[in-house]
A and B are shown apart, each in its own frame.
Chain A
Amino acid sequence: MIANSFLKNINKNENKMMKLNNQLSSGKNFFKVSENPSKANSVIRLNMDIENVNKYLNNVSAAQDILTQTETNLMDINASLSRINELVIQGSSSTNDANDKKAIAKEIEQLRDHIIQAVNSKYSGKNLFGGFNTATNPINIRASMVEYNEVQLVSLSEEDLTRFNSEKLSYEVDKGFRMEASYTGIDILGYGNDNLYDVLTDCINKMNANENPDTYSNSIKKLQEHQDNIISKVSEIGIKMNRLSFIGNKLENERLNKVSSKSKLEDVDYAKAIVELRSHEAIYEAALSSGSKLFQYSLANYLR
């Protein structure tokens, strides 16, 4: 009987020490859900939440990347437009003769092609301003008509415009909040007769034809409008970037909070666990030594 209860107690102690040892070596409070159902359930829940926050954080940085790239391209287009503006004003002055104007026309043409190239630029294999078109260049010149995704800008309908606008990339950066992170070629070039390509082509043609200086004032006005459009897009991006970094900070805080509450639930309090282990070791040792003494003695030792 003594032996039985002695064994049982020793076993109990060993089990407790094993559990503490497991906790210490793994750093986790529990291994199976059943060891602590309510805590484990919260941990699984928090895991899902953290995954979600991570997803939003990924989206924030993806949106930031695309917007940064877009901004670079827009600044490039803006610089080209400023130069074109100068050139047109220079060309409109009567001091330039026909040859000078031809040279200016040449330079404007090159800057125009450069702008088109910028609109066709790619970001990690995808068109930056192409909407759903990932296979071909979004802007193409066919029979001297400019096309965006196979629709002529001159004859672009309201329906087309809505469709293309709906193709913009948007990222879910917080629960239920999506942010548009891309622009279409139409946003940059405009549409109808006053699209940027046609306005520039018109300037080039005027320069080549050596037309009167006063005919340029309309072109300069239109160019100014396009430049204003680009600059307003750039400042819009700035606002979006601010917003994104604000959301990003909020998400980081959220993640930190969730990770730390998860850690509170599942991570071992080392100080506590070690103290407990020590006390169990002491009990175990005491049990062993008392047991060994207990079993040494029997009445049989004293009988002769």
Chain B
Amino acid sequence: MALLNSLEVVKRGLFYNQKAMDITGNNIANANTAGYTRQRVVAGSEIPNYINKTLSVKNAVSSGLKVEEVQQIRDRFLDIRYRDEDSLMNEYESKMNFLSAIEDAINEPSDSGILNALSGFFTAIDEMSKSPESMEMRVLVRQEAIRLTETIKGTYTRLSQIQINMDEETGIIVKEINRIADNISNMNNLIQKLESSGYKALDLRDKRNLLVDELSEYIGIKTVEDSNGVLSIKVGDEYLINGADVNHLEVSLSKSNPISGESMLNEISWKDGDAEFKATGGRLKAVLDMRDGEGQNIHLGNDSKGIPWVINSLNNFTRGLAQSINNIHKEGFTIPNDSNSYISETGKDFFDDGSGVASQISAKNISLTVEIKTNSFNIASSDTSVSNITKGNGGNALKMAEVYLNDNIVISVGGSNKNIGSIGGYFRELITENALDVSYAKSIYENQLIVKDNIENLRQSVSGVSLDEELTNMLKYQHAYNAAAKMINAIDKAFEALLSIL
């Protein structure tokens, strides 16, 4: 009986080592699988067989070992930290990309940017003030003015397009979040089912972890795992996933655009419940911040200099330019050269909104008045009524040219006055503030990347598969297996010896 028992004990050793080799093989096979967590066989010794009366309890030998469980080597604390840092990194990576896109749209310093067109315009006016009677000089002013207005409008269009793209991206991100949430809840169901029937759903957990990592790129989350292995996820104070239930996010085209005159934007809300949706981090927060940021509450830390801020500044710049040039241009007199009337006219605007209204000028619509577009002699360069012998009067053109260096430009916005300093200076400030934002976002992103990489490395060193280690384990288990096999051989010999006596 004892020999047979020994055989049984050794068999268990064989089984254990075989299982361990299986797991090692699995680890090696998954060495490059994303999200795979290293597994380990935990052995426990079997309780001795006390019913066997041939041996006294005193001499009891444990009856081999058994596979207690297969474990994942994972540090939950590292997972949480990884997700927090990953959210932040993705938020600033997105912000950096959007701010860079804004910087590219502004396109400074370059020969095709607004500053270049602005100085071209004022240089042309200055030249015209010296020879106001010259058709060529006037046409040059008109061309430079058209180049300036087109550059401003082009910049506006590019910025507005970036906002439209961002809005599309919010829709895509929300869809992604819903998809991942659905997947995680499916995983929850499966894991719960499998584990309640005694299995260890290790690979499903790996997959679920990978999904949670992915989710943390899009939005900042908090996770809670209950005793049944069900993972609940919170965004802010609201549950995105509560057990098997998913509270989806909804997108509706109902948010009014902070940029007046532009189309509605996506409003994100919870499908169930009345709670307001708040983006807590990740790419979604970056997109929303950049899409809606008017830069009004920077000091409160909950606002950014996003597209609306840039466009608002661009509008102020445009109004500063148009209003100050118009005010002076109105005082001046044109050269009578129109085939319809031979009168030197005054009180005319230089810029309008493309439909003859000067009070509604913005970066979206700034144009030259129809009169100036059709006849360059309608530029009021003279400060007195022009007769045949005073065509050389460029006094008003000179006043217009001086606007460039005037550092007390006052614009009226919505009935109140605002001093924006000099026109060029105001625009330069806009460029610099945007550039500082880019470099700030970039430095945070780079720091976060290092932090995230470090945590990722830590996580890898805990959970990742090291081939050398696995191979060492393989040798270990192989030798143990061989030894057990030899043991069977020895017992076999003992049996043989015993049986041959008979």
Contacts and interface: CB of A to CB of B under 8 A. Distances in A.
A303 interface: yes
Interface string A283-297: 000000000000000
Interface residues of A, number: 39
Contacts of A167: 390, 392-393
A62 interface: yes
Contacts of B44: none
Interface stretch (A1-9, A194-202, A219-227): A1-9
A180 interface: no
A48 B432 contact: no
Interface string B463-492: 010111001100100000000000000000
B374 interface: no
Nearest to B439: A34
- Counting chain A CB atoms within 10 Å of each CB, the highest count among B109, B424, B434 belongs to B109
A135 B130 contact: no
B390 A132 contact: yes
Contact of A134 (B123, B391, B436, B461): B391
B318 to A, nearest CB: 19
A35 interface: yes
Nearest to A149: B389
Interface in A4-59: 4-5, 8, 32-35, 37, 40-41, 43-45, 47-48, 51-52, 55
Contact of B392 (A44, A132, A171): A132
Contacts of B392: 126-127, 130-134, 167
A127 to B, nearest CB: 8
A167 B394 CA distance: 9
B206 interface: no
A135 B126 contact: no
A32 B109 CA distance: 8
Given A1-B464, A32-B103, A135 B435 contact: no
B237 interface: no
Contacts of B428: 41, 44-45
B303 interface: no
B457 A34 contact: no
Interface of B: 99-100, 103-104, 108-109, 115, 119, 123, 126, 130-131, 133-134, 388-393, 405, 424, 428, 431-432, 434-436, 438-439, 442, 453, 456-457, 460-461, 464, 466-468, 471-472, 475
Interface of A: 1, 4-5, 8, 32-35, 37, 40-41, 43-45, 47-48, 51-52, 55, 62, 125-127, 130-136, 149-150, 167, 169, 171, 298-300, 303
Nearest 8 A/B pairs, CB to CB: A34-B438, A33-B435, A132-B392, A132-B390, A133-B389, A34-B435, A134-B133, A134-B392
Given A1-B457, A134-B133, 8 more contacts: A1-B461, A35-B439, A45-B428, A52-B405, A127-B392, A131-B392, A132-B392, A149-B389
